[in-house]
Structure 1
């Protein structure tokens, strides 16, 4: 039962990370022209994190930080 719960938690974090990646992509699209290169860098890093072998909860926490970065960039 412990393995089932651990796998369920991993899947939840992976799903949340995938949703954050989608949000980062939407924010990337909304960034002004001046910030596009930095936004692209954040977007690319988020894809690398999403596809990495990092533990799902670490992946999620990193994606949260990347989302904050791109929001700050978008809001100027």
Structure 2
């Protein structure tokens, strides 16, 4: 099982966006993967949800990483 956090951020004409992905990957140990996404715009939280629950969390994280980078987000620090 592993816990991790990833942060993506970008500046837009509308302001600053920050996405934090917090993941618990436990599927390899017989548990489920649970991934939380927190989205902030200009310092205000606009989303805080469990974005994924299942057994393919690593694949979900890779797909999200590709999508955020393609949308102009850059990695940041938690």
TM over 0.5: no
TM-score range, shorter chain: 0.3 to 0.5
Mark the structure with the bigger radius of gyration. 1
TM normalised by structure 1 equals: 0.41
TM normalised by structure 2 equals: 0.40
Greater RCO, 1 or 2 (C-alpha within 8 Å, sep 6+) = 1
